[in-house]
């Protein structure tokens, strides 16, 4: 009996040593990983080519939310930029502009505004001296007094563009099959399915309200033209970019290159940031 007790105690002590060693190794590995991550973040902050608190504000378009920028956020942050995805309610151009202004109030340094599709009208409607430049990603750019609808339907739409009719509440929903067919036809099937599931409707007021004097008349702008866009005619995009005097970057991408070609989107944003945030 005493022998069994002794062997049991010895085994328990040995197990304790093994467990303690395992936990210690795990803790050391965890601490090393945390230290490495912190060091990497400090390195990014120290080597950033941009002024302190430089911020990129990404604004989603119709039928979307901040998720549409999920492939863009980290690559920009890894360059030392702060990134905010501004949530807009999609209830009217005025309301959406107010929501973007609230997001701007959360920042303290120079800013680049990035808009996709409908939100091109929104980023041009704000007034803030810290906005250094605008980036349009297959976006709409109405001039003063124009509506989003007017520029959207300026040229003959693609045969793939879905019919969009407001419901009894004045909200326009996108047919489910339209995401794969027109909004994101170059994205993966899974990406298109997720975009379909998270879609948010846009109110008719958003596209019928006349735009104020656009900010692109006084700030430098960049325009990523989606040459294979099935929602906004590429011809319309070329017209708007030329009228704005924007720096044009044209690629054979679809209406949502944030999904299908995120690297292209990141490079256009970085170009605008490098050219204007340090001024």
What is the per-residue pLDDT across 101-129, written as a single tens digit (0 to 9) for each? Answer: 999 999 999 999 999 999 999 999 999 99
196: Cα separation from own chain's centroid: 17
Mean of pLDDT values over 141-146: 98
pLDDT of residue 5: 52
Q: Convert the pLDDT of each residue in 163-208 to its tens digit.
A: 889 999 999 999 999 999 999 999 999 999 999 999 999 999 999 9
pLDDT tens digits for 200-211? 999 999 999 999
Instruction: Please tell me the predicted confidence (pLDDT) of residue 170.
Output: 95
**Position 136 confidence tier, pLDDT thresholds 50, 70, 90:** very high
Whole-number pLDDT of residue 263: 98
pLDDT of residue 153: 94
Quick one: pLDDT band at residue 47, thresholds 50, 70, 90?
A: low
- Using pLDDT thresholds of 50, 70 and 90, give the confidence band for residue 22: very low
Within a 10 A sphere around the Cβ of 264, how many other Cβ atoms?
Answer: 18
| 27 or 178: which leads in pLDDT | 178
pLDDT mean over 43-65:
85
Please answer whether residues 177 and 185 qualify as being in contact, where contact means their C-beta atoms are separated by less than 8 angstroms. Answer: no
Write out the two tokens for 3.
Answer: 């022998």
Cα–Cα distance between 4 and 205 in angstroms, integer? 83
Residue 6 has pLDDT above 60, yes or no: no
Cα 153 to Cα 174: distance, rounded to the nearest angstrom = 17
Worst-scoring range by mean pLDDT, 48-52, 127-131, 237-241, 267-271? 48-52
Q: What is the pLDDT of residues 222-266, one digit of tens each?
A: 999 999 999 999 999 999 999 999 999 999 999 999 999 999 999
Mean pLDDT, the chain, as a whole number? Answer: 88
pLDDT confidence of 10, banded at 50, 70, 90?
very low
Residue with token string 């866009």:
229
pLDDT the model gives residue 163: 87
Q: Looking at beta carbons, which pairs linking 37-44 to residues 24 or more positions away fall under 8 Å?
A: 44/77, 44/78, 44/79, 44/80
pTM for the full predicted model: 0.83
């Amino acid at each position: 009996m005493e022998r069994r007790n002794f062997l049991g105690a010895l085994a328990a002590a040995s197990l304790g040593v093994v467990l303690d060693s395992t936990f210690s190794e795990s803790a050391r590995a965890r601490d090393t990983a945390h230290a490495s991550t912190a060091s990497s973040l400090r390195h990014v902050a120290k080597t950033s080519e941009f002024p302190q608190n430089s911020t990129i504000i990404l604004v989603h378009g119709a039928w979307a939310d901040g998720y549409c920028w999920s492939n863009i956020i980290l690559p920009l942050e890894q360059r030392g930029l702060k990134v905010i995805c501004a949530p807009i309610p999609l209830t009217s151009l005025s309301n959406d502009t107010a929501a973007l202004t609230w997001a701007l109030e959360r920042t303290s340094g120079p800013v680049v505004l990035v808009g996709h599709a409908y939100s091109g009208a929104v980023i041009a409607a704000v007034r803030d001296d810290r906005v250094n430049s605008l980036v349009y990603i297959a976006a709409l750019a109405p001039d003063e007094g124009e509506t989003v609808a007017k520029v959207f339907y300026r040229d003959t739409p693609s045969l793939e563009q879905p019919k969009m009719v407001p419901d009894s509440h004045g909200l326009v929903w996108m047919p489910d099959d339209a995401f794969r067919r027109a909004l994101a036809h170059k994205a993966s099937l899974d990406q298109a399915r997720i975009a379909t599931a998270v879609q948010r409707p846009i109110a008719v007021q958003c596209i019928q309200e006349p735009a104020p004097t656009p900010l692109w008349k006084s700030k430098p702008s960049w325009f990523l033209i989606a040459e294979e866009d099935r929602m906004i005619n590429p011809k319309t995009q070329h017209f708007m970019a030329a009228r704005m005097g924007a720096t044009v970057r044209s690629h054979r991408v679809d209406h949502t290159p944030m999904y299908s070609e995120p690297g292209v989107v990141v490079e256009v944003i970085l170009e605008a940031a490098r050219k204007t945030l340090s001024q």
